[in-house]
Amino acid sequence: MNTSFLHNINTAYFWDIDISTLDEIKSKRLIIERVTNLGNLDEIKLLINHYGKKELIKSICKLNYIDPKTLNFFSLVFNIPKSNFKCFTRKQSKVQHWNF
């Protein structure tokens, strides 16, 4: 584990697991998901520096859930259409009973 990277991430994002057991490679998806949804701009920059912009974008686009504000942020910052995000296309494909 590269403690210099995870040491700078708020441990409260990983309330349900022991952060010392996280492997930065094996737990990449979990780390990215938690930090993108709960983290601040500095922590997102840490993700970019650690995993690389291309890998981060690829991972974010595959996440099942991103809150709407975070989705808008990443869509605008990285100039990615919302339709490229799995969470957006999944949300659009679910018909709500009140939206006929």
User: How far is it, in rounded angstroms, from Cα 60 to Cα 56?
Assistant: 6
CB of 43 closer than 8 Å to CB of 16 = no
Q: Band of the pLDDT at 31, cuts 50, 70, 90?
A: very high
The two three-digit tokens of residue 37, written as one number? 């949804």
Q: What is the DSSP string of 11-25?
A: GGGGTTS-GGG--TT
Give the pLDDT score at 16. 93
Report field, pTM of the whole predicted structure over 0.85: no
CB-CB neighbours of 80 under 10 Å: 15
CB-CB neighbours of 87 under 10 Å: 19
The fraction of the chain above a pLDDT of 90, given in percent, is: 65
pLDDT tens track for 2-14: 446 888 999 999 9
DSSP at 85: S
Between 1 and 30, the more confident residue is 30
Residue type, 3: T
